[in-house]
Amino acid sequence: MATTFDADVIVVGSGALGANAAYELARQGKSVIVLEAGVRIPRWKIVENFRNSSKKQNYNSPYPNEAWAHTSYDAEYIENTGSFDFRPGMLKLVGGTTWHWAAACWRYIPNDMKLRSTYGVGRDWPIDYDDLEPWYGRAEVALGVAGTEFEDQSGQGGEPFPPRSTPYPLPPEGKTYMFQRLQSRLRQMGYNFIHEPNARVTAPYDGRPACAGNNNCMPVCPIGAMYSGVVHVDHAVKAGAELRTDATAYRLEKGEAGRIAAVHYRTSKGDDVRLTARYFVIACHGLETPKLLLISGVANSSDQVGRNLMDHSGIGLQFLADEPVWMGRGQIQQGGIFNWRDGPFRARHAAIKHAPSNYVPNTAVAQRLLKVGVLGSELDRRLRDEASRWVDISTVFEMLPHPENRVEPNYDRQDALGIPMLKVHYDIDDYVKAALPVAMNDFRNFVRGMGGELVVDDTGWQNRDHLMGSVIMGADPADSVVDGDCRTYDHPNLFLATTGVIPASGVINPTLTGVALSIRLADIIAREV
Amino acid sequence: MRRLAAALFAAAVGAPAAMAQAPDPALVERGAYLARAADCTSCHTAPEPGSPPFAGGYPIPSPMGPIVSANITPSKSHGIGGYSLEDFSRAVRAGVAPGGRHLYPAMPYPAYSGITDEDIAALYAYFMLDVAPVHTSPPETELPFPFNLRPLMIGWNLLFGESGFVSDAGASAEVRRGQYLVETLGHCGSCHSPRNALMGEDRSRFLGGGTVGGWVAPNLTPDPVAGIGGWSEEEIVGFLRDGYVAGKGVAAGSMAEAVEHSLRYLSEDDLRAIVAFLKTVPPIPDPSLARPAYDWTEARPVAVTEYETGNGPMQADLADSGTLDGAILYNGACASCHGISGAGTPDGAFPSLTANTTVGATNPANLVLTIATGVDREGANGHAFMQTFGEELSDAQIAAVATHVASRFGNPDVAVDAAAVTELRAGGPPPWILAAAPWLFVAGAALVILIFVALLGVILGVILGRRHAAA
């Protein structure tokens, strides 16, 4: 064939998933171009932006939000038409949204991937845990995951689970005092605390220093101990990949025999560029990936692109314990209670995860006290006291995929490049609502077990920023966008590297699974190119 | 002794197979310790993680260009597996490989010339019997003309090929052991002694301070200001073993490698012997220095309110990372570990920037290169790590933050500009011989000079040889 291509593979998006796919392909000798809508800025500049920000609770505020590369907290950018304001933290810059995350690196357990056949609800994955297991191991090495191998991560207090073929690359960090106190007292009520495997390295690793407990994982790890996709962007570039910033993909062009022929991108100066490649990997977030497919009119013979949108929609609990627990030392989260991770109840209601947050609570405590008019030396005294006793539980539920929960291009609103913004319709489903009383009962137990004084247990539904389902994976091309390899059913050379492929949400943060799937699809492409 | 003789015999006849039948574990173990003390692995193992030990491929920085280390595993085809003890001895102690091929003095054979026969035999036994053979060859060293002419080393060797340093017969056994470790095995002078115009060690200024790849290898003589006269024995021992001692300094660059691969494995007695010897070296003062580099103990941080206004950057500024304001750069890049006050952490995991030779030095080279390339060092007390900033900061920004750090936590008279940073990152200013070589070549004078050097070497060699003979 005389046809020449601009690259073997073009990866759209330079977040953790795209960067890992790009690195694996470049490392295996393929020519790779990575397109990124945003810009590259150094970590120190983000730290500087954060320190100088007056909006420290807004995790997107230290990051550029350009008219040609919007972040998700831009009120204009996402229009919601459902009952829930779906607004996940999403960044547009080199490295992607893993610049701010909590770095949780859970694996799914086998039943999570067989939800329909085990419990009769939701969907099954077309691959099972054993298929994915080797790539979980590689993803853990890539991200530098610190974890403990001796716990039952299904939350039942049993033998180590799920099975692993490789050890965690790093040992877990020490338990914070708060974690120890909650674990010790709530264990007596039957709650199993599990350490959270996480991508904050506990020893120097891959050019990253060990976590020093800055407690600033969100909005930015100031020292780079916590993994960010930028690590593998740099690795990919060193391995020969080309990175193009300020390059927003706006159209995938269909070619012959059902293949994708080219990607078109636009720069902030208005330049349009067309690039050809043998393979394309779309890795631009669980909302933007389906948008790009829909505005391009590709991969949607199933009519499922953008549908089945899931987040681990959650609720929160805050209370004051009867003893100082000193929240805010070390990393911002360290583990959780997984008693409701798996069991026959999943036929009736959603799985539940409760995770104590560990951010410095001073702002939340002060806001509450000021709201009720506490001032002067009394404010100082109560701030010191209550900040030491504050406990914050972040709870998530397992959603099921519903075609009505969807993201679409918003043709009524365009960004500075003339590209449609986003429109989301999202309602919390009955499967989650059926689990609410169970979670509230746990809340009461937590407060009681810690001798606590309730502050808030009716936060309403909250975003958890875990995008799933929007380009759903499945065994049947009639109701699925991609197969078990993340290859689109409609286009053999188009792969999707996004947590949007995940068809059954479970209750665990999906990034590690996304990275594992991305490395896996890169291996598949590398064999074919 | 009989077993040693047997091993020596087996080695001398070049029969590793025979040795394998009756290796002397004690001899091999001693060879392993000596190989640590001589720090063979720092240069003979490639820098990439997981590289096979002693398989070569490390590009040793030299002003003439990188000199790639050889495979010294016992591979017969790609390493030194075919070497006899005599071959091994001649390569290590005289810089001449079998076949008469001259090694570049990046291999510190001038220092190793003092290795005893017994230790050479132990090293030989270790390399032949306890090192896994690796059947690959690293890339060839390619230096520019005229340095690619290895026979030039004949003349150079006559001038500088032997350490020529004889231990003081009246010194204590500890001092003599220390001298052997410092001068011969540790070849400390390779970096810490200045080099002359022809790149030989300047013996008159032994351990008076040198440079390597842009880094400053500090003055190790007992001068209280320019050297380490103000360091206690405990501090020196701790520094060698851990690569860090509070209130004094941090090992980075090649010294971090020396700690990681060599010094942290030395016995307490050997470390103390090193200190004992260093105390006897003639002090080399530097009249330009008023106080020791570690003696800047006062922090003068910029008030945080001057650069953190709390008003929030404007949207357009969020992506603008071009600032050359050292205080802003320090706040964003450095303060998360070293603190706004520069105090670091009490356990030294993040060292204080005050009372720190890297920061207080009059020559800012090590400060600049630490910022640019970070620190990655396994000491006896654990893994010290500082990430590199050479990719996230421009040379001008490294200059700005280095100047800020020096002025606020170290020597306020120190200032660095972007050009100096660029030059340091490229390996430092070129020596005379490199700068002069092209000109000499163009003038057609290179050959004359080289002949002159060779002749001079022969003459001096004869004279020195007579002196040796007389002694």
- Per-position b or e across A405-433, b if 16+ CB within 10 A of its CB: bbbbbbeeeebebebbbbbbbbebbebbe
pTM: 0.91
Q: What residue ranges in A166-293 does DSSP mark as E strands?
A: 193-195, 242-244, 248-254, 260-266, 272-282
Amino acid at B198: L
Partner residue opposite A64 with nearest CB, options B318, B336, B388: B318
Q: How far apart are CA B27 and CA B121, in angstroms?
A: 8
A311-361 pLDDT, tens per residue? 999 999 999 999 999 999 989 999 999 999 999 999 999 999 999 999 999
A45 with B336: Cβ contact below 8 A: no
A234 with B391: Cβ contact below 8 A: yes
User: Å from A404 to nearest chain B CA?
Assistant: 36
Amino acid at A35: L
DSSP 8-state symbol, B143: P
B271-316 pLDDT, tens per residue? 999 999 999 999 999 999 999 999 999 999 998 888 887 766 677 7
Q: How far apart are CA B68 and CA B400, in angstroms?
A: 34
Q: What is the pLDDT of residue B143?
A: 82
Q: Which candidate in A312, A349, A466, A491 is catalytic?
A: A466
pLDDT band at B448 (very low <50, low <70, confident <90, very high): low
Record the tokens describing residue B138, joined without a space.
């690293």
- Model confidence at B11: pLDDT above 60: no
- Compute the mean pLDDT over every residue in chain B, rounded to the nearest whole number: 87
Q: How far apart are CA B157 and CA A351, in angstroms?
A: 77
The ipTM assigned to this model is 0.94
Strand pairing report for A420-425 and A78-80? parallel
Q: How far apart are CA A499 and CA A286, in angstroms?
A: 6
Partners of A39 on chain B (C-beta within 8 Å) are 319
A47 with B312: Cβ contact below 8 A: no
Say how many Å lie between the first and final Cα of chain B, rounded.
29
A204 with B309: Cβ contact below 8 A: no
Q: What is the pLDDT of residue B443?
A: 56
Q: What is the pLDDT of residue B106?
A: 87
- Highest mean pLDDT (candidates A58-72, A493-507, B202-216): A493-507
Helix ranges (H only) for B72-197 are: 85-94, 109-112, 117-130, 152-160, 173-179, 189-192
Q: What is the pLDDT of residue B13?
A: 44
- Model confidence at B138: pLDDT above 60: yes
Contact present, B93 and B85 (Cβ < 8 Å): no
A276-300 pLDDT, tens per residue? 999 999 999 999 999 999 999 999 9
Beta-ladder partners of B215: B212
Mean pLDDT calculated for residue range A121-129: 98
Give the whole-number percent of chain A exceeding pLDDT 70.
100
B337 with A65: Cβ contact below 8 A: no
A458-469 pLDDT, tens per residue? 889 999 999 999
User: Å from B271 to nearest chain A CA?
Assistant: 27
Q: How far apart are CA A268 and CA B376, in angstroms?
A: 40
Mean pLDDT calculated for residue range B377-400: 96
Q: What is the pLDDT of residue B159?
A: 75
Partners of A47 on chain B (C-beta within 8 Å) are 331-333, 336
Mean pLDDT calculated for residue range B245-251: 95
pLDDT band at B201 (very low <50, low <70, confident <90, very high): confident
Which of A231, A516, A333, A289 shows the shortest CA–CA distance to A422?
A289
Q: What is the pLDDT of residue B3?
A: 42
- Model confidence at B7: pLDDT above 50: no
Q: Taking the CB of residue B138, how many other CB atoms lie within 10 A of it? A: 19
Q: What is the pLDDT of residue B14?
A: 44
**Is residue A466 annotated as a catalytic residue, yes or no?**
yes
Partner residue opposite A51 with nearest CB, options B331, B350, B392: B331
Amino acid at A196: E
Residue listed under structure tokens 């574990």:
B25
